[in-house]
């Protein structure tokens, strides 16, 4: 994970401080010029409103047939409104304007001096930038599992999904139990041949029968859509040839 902040210290919104809730007083005035909050992956779904509008649009669209009875998903999202977050503060310090005695009068005078120097384009030659990172407590993750239990919420590894598609399309395997055995062998021999295997509760590498069944279905449907697309294209080419007799069309059917 890479977090790039680097804000403009001459922005008028920034205040000169001597301390705050996470940065203790040491006599050096500073500015908090940027704050980045990194929420837990199980935090609030920022796209919930967009998803709801999309579902409503699909339901109202006459071109899409929405079944009256829909399968109830026990877990439709890995978002659980977890309030835990990492907070990164970008702080510019001004050691050339060191406070003497920690009094309100000294603070105001130092703040004025820093701002005046900044107006003149010089807030001290030495302005080190420091990043303060505040990590959440484990207890802040109070809406979902943590540790080994959290691995039950993970999505299947893309390499395993690709293998499942190959088993279904290339090898024409349709039994969930058979594919599960092949996936388990793939994880042991290809993904972790010389290292410790992940815990069996980790769904990223040990997908459940239902996970495998869903990926099998997607692989089959993708193939069907591909076949339909080719058939539609063939019909389109016939029309194009009829109306554009001077043009040449070349089409290779994918088996």
Give SS3 for 85.
strand
Q: Is the pLDDT of residue 224 over 90?
A: no
Q: What is the pLDDT of residues 47-67, one digit of tens each?
A: 767 767 776 776 666 444 444
Per-residue pLDDT, 72: 46
Per-residue pLDDT, 4: 46
Query: Which is more confident, 201 or 212?
Result: 212
Q: What is the pLDDT of residues 66-89, one digit of tens each?
A: 444 454 444 555 666 788 889 999
Among candidates 86, 83, 78, which has minimal Cα distance to 48? Answer: 78
Per-residue pLDDT, 15: 83
Q: What is the pLDDT of residues 82-138, one digit of tens each?
A: 888 899 999 988 888 888 777 888 888 888 888 888 777 665 566 788 888 888 887
Q: Is the pLDDT of residue 25 over 80?
A: yes
The pTM score is 0.44
The widest CA-to-CA distance across the chain, in whole angstroms, is 91
Query: Which is more confident, 113 or 240?
Result: 113
Specify whether the CB–CB gap between 30 and 16 falls below 8 A. yes
Specify whether the CB–CB gap between 207 and 151 falls below 8 A. no
Q: How far is CA 184 from CA 153, 154, 168, 210, in A?
A: 19, 17, 16, 15
Q: Is the pLDDT of residue 1 over 60?
A: no
Query: Which is more confident, 1 or 60?
Result: 60
Q: Is the pLDDT of residue 188 over 90?
A: yes
Q: How far is CA 117 from CA 16, 26, 96, 110, in A?
A: 12, 21, 11, 11
């Amino acid at each position: 994970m890479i977090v790039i902040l680097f804000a403009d210290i001459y922005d008028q919104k920034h205040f000169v401080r001597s301390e705050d809730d996470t940065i203790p007083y040491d006599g050096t005035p500073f500015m908090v010029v940027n704050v980045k909050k990194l929420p837990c992956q199980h935090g609030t779904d920022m796209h919930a409103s967009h998803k709801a509008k999309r579902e409503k649009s699909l339901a109202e669209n006459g071109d899409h047939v929405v079944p009256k009875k829909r399968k109830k998903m026990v877990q439709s999202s890995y978002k659980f409104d977890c309030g835990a977050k990492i907070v990164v503060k970008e702080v510019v310090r001004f050691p050339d304007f060191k406070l003497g005695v920690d009094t309100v009068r000294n603070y105001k005078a130092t703040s004025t001096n820093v701002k005046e120097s900044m107006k003149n384009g010089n807030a001290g030659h030495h302005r080190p930038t420091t990043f303060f990172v505040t990590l959440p407590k484990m207890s802040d993750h109070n809406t979902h599992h943590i540790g080994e239990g959290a691995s039950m919420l993970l999505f299947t590894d893309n390499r395993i999904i690709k293998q499942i598609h190959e088993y279904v399309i290339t090898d024409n395997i349709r039994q969930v139990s058979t594919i599960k055995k092949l996936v388990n062998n793939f994880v042991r021999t290809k993904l972790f041949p010389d290292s410790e295997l992940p815990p069996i509760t980790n769904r990223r590498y040990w997908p459940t029968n239902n996970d495998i069944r869903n990926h099998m279905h997607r692989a089959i449907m993708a193939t069907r859509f591909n076949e339909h697309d080719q058939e539609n294209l063939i019909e389109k080419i016939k029309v194009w040839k009829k109306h554009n007799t001077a043009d040449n069309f070349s089409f290779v059917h994918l088996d």
